[in-house]
């Protein structure tokens, strides 16, 4: 009898195995803390990490991109940052992308590219392009202690990924890629993220068996923040019915009751987009943790400030960002209330200066026009209130890493620095904290001197100043006076570099023309870290054309 029972049980188990053979199983590793959250930094280079750790303890990991077409990292910056994280056993979110540069795409408009992306999605579902994942799998296997969050493309949508209404192309591609990686990885250090655009999460969901995490992007409209774009505001809704411009909130209705207790639409203001809240509910209902796979500030207010800073609305953004993680309440167009406070278990804050593009590296020219949607400096080090709120949010929401003690703090200033710089230069050279006349350069390329100012600086022209003495003090600002015949709407950059014109950039303020070489502006700009032993500083003009850029009158360090 016992033998017959065991034989029957074995048959049932074998039959179940046949039913699930080849199907990927979720939940092998999610790395989600039971009672906490993970904070990851960046999306392209180590610059985000370096800025963040100048005031905070090291986070739990970071984020990068891998390209299917080339079968490797998007560029060396992504590779190097991924290696840096993996070597420490950190969490590494990798956006495995094909929509931006699909294999076989040779050019054309966005519609042509999207059509090719949809075709590639179907090809991936059929098992094609498998060799393009070799480098990725080898990297995963090389770092068994790291935790890899694989986004199988990012912000996926029907436009780029679905060949029909069922979107089976993307669902099958997700499952196929997961099976490919799972079949070749040597350890349980990979988890899989489904990261759709708002509103298409249900249509494109790869299923509970394939999905470990649900991902979402949080920038502006997701938090009902306005976006400023070339002189106009873009709202999440049409004022006044669907957007309150006085409180910067969306307006929508949920299904509640009227004063008589009858079912009724109840209108209210919201800090959060309805689709985001519904996606959080969807993830909760499917037992999936959520990761904010991308987040960062945008241009919320200004068209002209070349610093790209958001001192007030940046703080509002941070508070709403962490508030979303603790949301409990109604959801637009639904009845009842929902506790979503334990759904988001990880977040990626990009922490880059978007003015200089997606790598955030100041290379002498802005990648986005002044006043456009992405013309914003999202580095938390550049803010006081937003940084304080961010650190508070980490503590309040139970993140595994908090601001704590900075891992990579900037050099400290003396305990009792002089209240004013010395009035005479030290014997070893000229005082870096006193006014340095720009025409007193020690070496130059392309500049002239006119009426007591350094003039005729075109793109790439430079002037070097030697023998600067900082007297053991660490400057945190450079102050300078300039003029430019360029229109007051035309942007350019003045780089300050340690050492030569090829030395590290310590400041790269974005500037605007003043309309005349006799119309001066005085600017104070925060410095990056000054390398130890610096005695020379070089200024370099940067612009996107060959016209004269600016004249420089003087500068000094504070």
> Residue 410 has what pLDDT?
57
Asked whether the predicted pLDDT for residue 16 surpasses 60, the reply is: no
Given a cut of 90, whether residue 477 has pLDDT beyond it is: no
Q: What pLDDT is attached to residue 340?
A: 98
Q: Which of 25-34, 145-154, 238-247 is least confident?
A: 25-34
| pLDDT at residue 1 greater than cutoff 90 | no
- How many CB atoms lie under 10 A from the CB of residue 440? 12
When pLDDT is averaged across residues 344-359 and rounded to a whole number, the result is 95
Q: Which of 25-34, 260-269, 282-291, 342-351 has the lowest mean pLDDT?
A: 25-34
Kindly indicate the confidence band of residue 9, based on its pLDDT and cuts at 50, 70 and 90.
Answer: very low
Is 408's pLDDT higher than 80? no
Euclidean distance between CA atoms 229 and 487, whole angstroms: 20
What percent of the chain shows pLDDT beyond 90? 73
- Distance separating alpha carbons of residues 245 and 140, to the nearest angstrom: 47
The pLDDT of 188-196, averaged and rounded, is 97
Average pLDDT over residues 308-322: 96
| pLDDT value, residue 409 | 65
Overall average pLDDT of the 336-347 stretch? 97
| Pairwise pLDDT comparison (490 vs 73), residue with the higher score | 73
How high is the pLDDT of residue 537?
A: 95
What residue ranges in 29-119 does DSSP mark as E strands?
A: 38-41, 61-67, 72-73, 91-97
Distance CA(212)–CA(206), nearest Å, equals: 10
Name which residue leads in pLDDT, 9 or 476. 476
- Phi and psi at residue 299, in whole multiples of 5°? -75, 105
Helix, strand, coil in percent for the chain, rounding step 5: 25, 25, 50
Residue-wise pLDDT tens digits, 135-144: 999 999 999 9
> Tell me, what's the pLDDT at 30?
84
Report yes or no: 360 and 45 within 8 Å, Cβ to Cβ. Answer: yes
473 pLDDT band, cuts 50/70/90, is confident
Q: Which H or E run includes 506? A: strand 505-507
- pLDDT tens, residue by residue, 257-313: 988 989 999 999 999 999 999 999 999 999 999 999 999 999 999 777 888 999 999
pLDDT at 4: 38
Listed residue (522, 419, 431) closest to 471, CA to CA: 431
Residue 77's pLDDT is 92
H runs (alpha helix) in 286-370: 313-324
Mean pLDDT, to the nearest integer, of 30-53?
A: 92
> Residue 363 — very low, low, confident or very high, per pLDDT cuts 50/70/90?
confident
DSSP 126: T
Mean local confidence (pLDDT), 332-361? 95
Pairing relationship of beta strands 263-270 and 249-257 according to DSSP bridges: antiparallel
Nearest CA to 268 out of 329, 312, 343, 338 is that of 329
Q: Residues 154-170, buried b or exposed e (16+ Cβ, 10 A)?
A: bbbbbebbbbeeebebb
**Predicted local distance difference test score (pLDDT) of residue 21:** 34
Of 4-18, 327-341, 433-447, 463-477, the poorest mean pLDDT is in 4-18
Question: How do residues 494-536 score in pLDDT, each as one tens digit?
Answer: 989 999 999 888 888 878 888 999 888 888 777 777 888 888 9
Closest by CA to 455, choosing from 494, 475, 427, 484, is 484
d(CA 263, CA 516): 66
- Long-range (24+ apart) CB contacts under 8 A made by 339-342 are 340/277, 340/280, 340/281, 340/284
**Mean of pLDDT over the chain:** 89
Confidence at residue 204, expressed as pLDDT on a 0 to 100 scale: 98
Strands 462-465 and 537-542: antiparallel
55 DSSP 8-state letter: T
pLDDT category, 476, cuts 50, 70, 90? confident
Closest CA to 99 of 32, 43, 152: 152
* Coil vs helix vs strand at 491: strand
Q: Please indicate, yes or no, whether the overall pTM of this predicted structure exceeds 0.85.
A: no
Instruction: Tell me the C-alpha distance between 47 and 351, whole Å.
Output: 9
Lowest mean pLDDT among 220-229, 234-243, 382-391, 411-420: 411-420
The total number of residues written for the chain in this structure: 558
Distance of alpha carbon 174 from alpha carbon 221, whole angstroms: 28
């Amino acid at each position: 009898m016992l033998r017959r029972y065991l034989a029957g049980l074995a048959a049932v188990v074998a039959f179940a195995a046949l039913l699930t053979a080849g199907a990927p199983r979720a939940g092998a590793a999610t790395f989600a803390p039971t009672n906490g959250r993970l904070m990851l930094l960046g999306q392209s280079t180590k610059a985000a990490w370096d800025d963040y750790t100048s005031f905070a303890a090291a986070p739990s990991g970071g984020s990068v991109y891998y390209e299917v077409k080339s079968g490797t990292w998007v560029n060396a910056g992504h590779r190097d940052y991924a290696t840096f994280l993996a070597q420490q056993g950190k969490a590494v979110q990798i956006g495995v992308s094909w929509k931006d540069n699909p294999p076989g795409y040779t050019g054309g408009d966005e519609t042509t590219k999207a059509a090719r992306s949809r075709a590639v999605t179907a090809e991936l579902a059929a098992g094609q392009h498998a060799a393009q994942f070799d480098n990725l799998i080898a990297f995963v296997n090389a770092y068994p202690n790291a935790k890899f969050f694989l986004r199988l493309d990012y912000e996926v949508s029907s436009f780029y990924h679905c060949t029909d209404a069922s979107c089976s192309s993307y669902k099958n591609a997700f499952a196929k890629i997961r099976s490919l990686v799972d079949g070749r990885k040597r350890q349980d250090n990979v988890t899989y993220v489904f990261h759709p655009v708002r509103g298409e999460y249900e249509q494109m969901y790869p299923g509970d068996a394939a999905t470990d995490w649900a991902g979402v992007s949080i920038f502006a409209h997701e938090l009902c923040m306005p976006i400023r774009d070339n002189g106009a505001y873009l709202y999440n809704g049409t004022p006044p019915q669907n957007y309150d411009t006085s409180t910067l909130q969306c307006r929508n209705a949920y299904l509640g009751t009227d004063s008589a207790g009858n079912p009724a639409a109840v209108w209210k203001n919201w800090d959060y987009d309805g689709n985001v809240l519904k996606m959080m509910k969807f993830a909760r209902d499917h037992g999936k943790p959520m990761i904010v796979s991308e987040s960062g500030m945008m241009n919320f207010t200004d068209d002209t400030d070349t610093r790209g800073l958001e001192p007030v609305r940046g703080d509002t953004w941070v508070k709403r960002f962490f508030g979303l993680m603790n949301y409990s309440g109604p959801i637009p167009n639904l009845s009842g209330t929902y506790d979503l406070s334990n759904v988001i278990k990880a977040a990626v804050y990009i922490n880059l200066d978007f003015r200089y593009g997606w790598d955030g590296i100041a290379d002498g020219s802005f990648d986005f026009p002044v006043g456009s949607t992405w013309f914003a400096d999202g580095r938390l080090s550049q803010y006081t209130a937003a940084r304080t709120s961010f650190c508070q949010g980490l503590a309040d929401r139970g993140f595994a890493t908090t601001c704590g003690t900075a891992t990579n703090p900037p050099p400290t200033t003396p305990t009792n620095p002089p209240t004013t710089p010395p009035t005479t230069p030290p014997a070893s050279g000229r005082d870096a904290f006193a006014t340095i006349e720009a025409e007193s350069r020690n070496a130059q390329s392309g500049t002239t001197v006119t009426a007591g100012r350094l003039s005729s600086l075109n793109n790439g022209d430079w002037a070097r100043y030697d023998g600067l003495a900082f007297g053991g003090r660490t400057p945190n600002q450079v102050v300078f006076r300039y003029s430019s015949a360029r229109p007051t709407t035309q942007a350019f950059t003045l780089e300050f570099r340690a050492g030569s014109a090829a030395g590290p950039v310590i400041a790269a303020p974005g500037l605007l023309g003043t309309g005349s070489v006799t119309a001066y502006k005085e600017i104070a700009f925060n410095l990056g870290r000054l390398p130890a032993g610096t005695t020379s500083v070089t200024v370099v003009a940067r612009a996107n054309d060959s016209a004269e850029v600016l004249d420089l009158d003087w500068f000094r360090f504070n």
